[in-house]
A and B are shown apart, each in its own frame.
Chain A
Amino acid sequence: MNAIEFILAGMLAAATPMLLAALGELVVERTGVLNLGLEGMMALGAALGFITTYTYGSHLLGFGAAALGGAVLSLVFALVVLGFVANQVAAGLAIGILGTGLSSLFGKSFESLTITGLPKLALPLLSDVPVIGPTLFVQDIVVWLTLLFAVGLWAVLNHTKLGLMIRAVGENPHAARAIGFRVLTIRCLAIAFGGAMAGIAGAYASTVYTPLWADGMIAGRGWIALALVVFGTWQTGRIAFGAVLFGALSLGELVTQAGGVNIPSQILACVPYVVTILMLAVISSNRRRMRQNTVASLGQPFQP
């Protein structure tokens, strides 16, 4: 397998944890709430997902436990920022630290244990295409569901009444309330949804992508997911594109090492972080486009 085939085969799976978390955060931010605790919620999901899958042997249960854990943690965030009108940046950091701490507390006795991942499914017809068929179109079920989910989320946000409600609450919560939307309820549900998605994202990382538990295994992917929402200028399609790009980038380390290129692995490990900074600069420096796309009430507390 050459380098290109290797990247084609792996980039979707590498992108999936970041994409799942970013799609959840997209919904949260579209309602005007910034939850910086993504990394912690993913870590908690990864720990709970691994522990449950390891104990009961069922990936489905693992994903369920992770989603529940992420949602519960995010509801603590919701209580603090919606109920107590607290600063969203500080509360998000608090939740992030709490989630990271809980993940290593719970995962302590499972350190370095492994489980089996999920089987790969070949898409009929498409997987018969030469080169990209046996690589790009042979993925596990969660990858396919995630891509399907991204399409569904795009449709919901842009073409349904629910999507309109979510966007209205984010653009102008006072106007949304005046026409009868329950701003705090919608924001609370969005936060819980974002937490569940982050939990699932973490579980995918720990039970399917690299089926083992190691403390600190999320390794900044939650923060990259946060950055993806900004790169994608709050648009579902662009976020998905960004996630796949970063998935491919994260495989670069393995490819260069396998290719015998002698670059220290620490420097290669930095590549996604450096690219995040550069992409952030490129996208954000277009101030007009940022203003057009940024959710108007993002990060601002709302009191009816």
Chain B
Amino acid sequence: MKISFIRRDRASRWAMILAPILAFVGAIATSIILFTALGKDPALALYSLVLEPFLSWYNFSEILLKMAPLLLIAQGLAIGFRANVFNIGAEGQLVMGAIAASALPVWYPLGDSALMLPAMLLMGALGGMAWAAIAALFRTRFNANEILVTLMLTLIAVQILNYLLLGPWKDPKGFNFPQSVRFPDAALLPTLLPGTRVNISLLFAFVVSALCYVFMRHRFSGYQLLVGGLAPRAASYAGFSQSRAVWISLCIGGLCAGLAGAAEVSGPLGQLQRSVTLGYGYSAIIVAYLGGLNPLGIVLSAFVMSAIYIGGDNAMVSADLPIAAVWVFQGLLLTFYLAGLTFIRHRLIFLPSTRKAAP
């Protein structure tokens, strides 16, 4: 007996819906085995990881808070992934966005201009975009692989952050902690839901999601990007420029990540500190894939991934699991999903063995 995959004539809608669900089940099952092997109570770990985030209004609002950066970055990345431009350095673009946005309140800690916040968001978006544009330049001008360049730029961005926080931007009254001064009120994002930490960056994320939807479905340049990713040869015969796809993908990705970074420092953090790099840039890659690189799917996957983050925070306290458990879970989720994805375009067939058994 031989098992093999046969290409379907058309993509299976059932598989498209089932793949993420099965990936979730698979990741949970594997995590249970792993946590048990590590001597943790698997029931307690799962309860705090999967259920607890939804059991209180506070936890639920925290999901919405973390969802904003994940959604924002993932939408930007998905545009590039669809065009086969792999920007995996969103984390660095987020950090540079956060740094660029922080420059204003760090230099004017007593500022109270109403223009401060919009200027910070703009600088953050541009900072992230400029950082990604370096990779676009190296890719289009020198043919350098954007995966490696964006990743190296991330490692550099984190060092720049450390340098600023330990040196010139360190709060002189901060008891030597590596963090900047606390931002003035004029530099903080307004709250969206009263009584929670959810701020208006969630709205930005939804607006960007809507724009991405329109861009990919109804704009010719979105179509060009899509063709460029799916059939690069066909795209070049049709005169669609590959270097334009690289520039558009990386700039949009960097812009979104930079804006997310700006929203982090002017939102929940209220200052520039090391914890601005919590790995949202990497998680957003998973969010983008898990959402099927589809703007609507990404909204859903960003919510799920954000719940996992909050669940991880809970599990750290109640089930004594290190935060790395969240990374393991996310890695498993993407691995299972990629395997499940195959069933959208392929189906399994069972062939009787062609060779006769030896007599």
Contacts and interface: CB of A to CB of B under 8 A. Distances in A.
Interface in A19-60: 36, 40
B159 A230 contact: no
Given A223-B148, A269-B159, A285-B143, A97 B327 contact: yes
Q: Which of B148, B326, B329, B330 has the most CB of A within 10 A?
A: B148
Given A86-B338, A273-B156, A226 B148 contact: yes
B28 to A, nearest CB: 15
Interface of B: 4-5, 34, 38, 86, 88, 138, 141-145, 147-149, 151-153, 155-156, 159-160, 162-163, 166-167, 282, 285-286, 289, 322, 324-332, 334-335, 338-339, 341-342, 346
A66 B331 CA distance: 20
Contacts of B285: 90, 93
Contacts of A85: 5, 342, 346
A141 interface: no
Contacts of A230: 145, 148
A277 B338 contact: no
B73 to A, nearest CB: 14
A80 B160 contact: no
B300 to A, nearest CB: 18
Contacts of B156: 270, 273-274
A179 interface: no
B343 to A, nearest CB: 9
A134 interface: no
A95 B331 contact: yes
Interface string A261-291: 0001011011001101100111011010010
Main SS class of interface, A: helix
Interface in A104-127: 104-105, 108
B142 A281 contact: yes
Contact of B324 (A79, A108, A226, A281): A108
A270 B159 contact: yes
Given A86-B342, A281-B142, A290-B143, A94 B328 contact: no
B327 A284 contact: no
21 contacts: A79-B339, A83-B339, A91-B335, A93-B88, A93-B285, A94-B338, A95-B335, A96-B331, A97-B282, A97-B286, A98-B328, A100-B324, A100-B331, A220-B155, A266-B162, A273-B153, A277-B138, A277-B148, A284-B145, A285-B141, A287-B143
A104 B159 contact: no
A303 interface: yes
Contacts of B148: 223, 226-227, 230, 276-277, 280
Interface residues of A, number: 52
A89 to B, nearest CB: 5
Given A101-B328, A102-B328, A285 B142 contact: yes
Return the 5 tightest CB-CB contacts between A and B, nearest first. Answer: A98-B331, A101-B327, A104-B324, A281-B142, A101-B328
Nearest to A89: B86
A168 to B, nearest CB: 23
Contact of B149 (A79, A80, A277): A277
B156 to A, nearest CB: 5
A277 B144 contact: yes
A76 interface: yes
Contacts of B327: 97-98, 100-101, 104
Contacts of B151: 220, 223
B335 A76 contact: yes
A84 B286 CA distance: 18
A123 to B, nearest CB: 35
Nearest to B285: A93
A257 interface: no
A104 to B, nearest CB: 4
A101 B30 CA distance: 14
Contact of A98 (B141, B145, B149, B332): B332
A19 B40 CA distance: 37
Contacts of B325: 101, 105
Contacts of A102: 324, 328, 331
A103 B331 CA distance: 12
Contacts of A90: 285, 289, 334, 338
Given A93-B88, A285-B142, A267 B163 contact: yes
Contacts of A270: 155-156, 159-160
A87 interface: yes
